């Protein structure tokens, strides 16, 4: 078995992460998303660069140039100051590379003895599905587990080729109520809920994730709703439910001043509520 040559837009690679799935993992973040969440902590991953050139003259290190309408980023010259992502008017970044799965594996080759697997996140990683098949094919050849961190918009179980290679999905359930979900993301919650059900039935649901934004998102309703959906399946109590406190770091204006972070007490209250609903494996971060 060998991987193809499908390239993806890669926003960044974290060589060792303990927050992107079980164990020590390499995390690959892809560029581009089909949701536009107001609370997004990585808004520079939402859009693909259109080559407008705004960031070029703003880079203090002269690390960005434009050629034939395409932005070129000089990795060596870049100091990582993030000015480019702050000035980009299109929720993008010039620091995105087009890489094949083989190139990604080459970058993490030295990490392989120390990691349990690879997690692909975003943006929304399933928008670059062919690359995922290539990367997960290589992951399996190296005896690594392969996980998706995904927003629930993809029909995972209809894609047998991908799901035969994928060990599980860490699924964002941003809101159970479809109107609330649509207001936050631009799309309703129905596909996400249906995916939670199908993935659980197939043993491919690794984790549910919900970001807690007090006064904006009805967190208890979301926890109760997803519990109702999953409780028909044996073992739902032990499914990991990650409750993620909203933080304004990285969030774009004006949302960074509109939303507030939950207090530790509010997070503990929600954890207790999730326990009441039957979840036993709750992680609060």
CB of 75 to ligand SF4, least distance (A): 9
Greatest Cα pair distance in the chain: 58
CB of 259 to ligand SF4, least distance (A): 24
Site pattern 63..102 for ligand SF4 (x: CB under 6 A): xx------x-x----xxxxxxx---x-x-xxxx-------
Q: Which is nearer to ligand SF4, 52 or 224 (CB)?
A: 52
Strand duo 240-245 + 281-284: pairing: parallel
CB–CB of 208/239 below 8 Å? yes
As to burial, measured by CB atoms within 10 angstroms (0-12 exposed, 13-18 middle, 19+ buried), residue 253 is exposed
Binding span for ligand SF4 by CB under 6 A among 1-9, 52-60, 146-154, 244-252: 52-60
34 binds ligand SF4 (CB under 6 A): no
Rounded CA separation 12/27 (Å): 8
Instruction: Tell me the three state secondary structure of residue 206.
Output: strand
Binding span for ligand SF4 by CB under 6 A among 59-67, 195-203, 263-271, 272-280: 59-67
Size of the site for ligand SF4 (CB under 6 A): 26
Q: Which is nearer to ligand SF4, 14 or 78 (CB)?
A: 78
54 binds ligand SF4 (CB under 6 A): yes
Residues 6+ apart with CB under 8 A from 50: 90, 92
Rounded CA separation 194/199 (Å): 9
33 binds ligand SF4 (CB under 6 A): no
Tokens of 41: 């902590």
Query: What does the binding site for ligand SF4 look like in residue numbers (CB under 6 A)?
Result: 49-55, 59, 61, 63-64, 71, 73, 78-84, 88, 90, 92-95
């Amino acid at each position: 078995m060998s991987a193809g040559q499908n390239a993806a837009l890669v926003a960044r690679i974290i060589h060792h992460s303990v927050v992107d799935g079980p164990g020590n993992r390499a995390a690959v973040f892809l560029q581009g998303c089909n949701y536009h969440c107001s609370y997004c902590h990585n808004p520079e991953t939402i859009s693909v660069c259109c080559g407008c050139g705004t960031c070029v003259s703003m880079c203090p290190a002269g690390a960005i140039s434009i050629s034939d309408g395409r932005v070129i980023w000089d990795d060596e010259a870049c100091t990582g100051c993030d000015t480019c992502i702050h000035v980009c008017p299109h929720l993008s970044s010039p620091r995105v590379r087009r890489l094949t799965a083989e190139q990604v594996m080459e970058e993490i080759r030295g990490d392989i003895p120390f990691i349990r697997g690879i997690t692909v996140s975003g943006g929304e990683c399933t928008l670059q599905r062919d690359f995922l098949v290539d990367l997960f094919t290589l992951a399996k050849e190296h005896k690594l587990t392969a996980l998706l961190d995904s927003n629930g918009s993809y029909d995972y179980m209809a894609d047998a080729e991908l799901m035969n290679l994928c060990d599980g999905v860490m699924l964002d359930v941003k809101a159970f109520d479809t109107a609330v979900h649509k207001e936050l993301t631009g799309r309703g919650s129905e596909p996400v809920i249906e995916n939670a059900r199908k993935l659980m039935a197939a043993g491919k649901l690794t984790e549910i994730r919900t970001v807690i934004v007090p006064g904006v998102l009805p967190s208890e309703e979301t926890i109760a709703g997803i519990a109702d959906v999953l409780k028909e399946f044996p073992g739902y109590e032990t499914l990991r439910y990650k409750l993620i406190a909203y933080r304004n770091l990285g969030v774009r204006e004006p949302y960074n001043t509109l939303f507030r972070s939950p207090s530790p007490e509010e997070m503990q209250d929600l954890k207790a509520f999730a326990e009441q609903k039957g979840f036993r494996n709750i992680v609060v971060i």
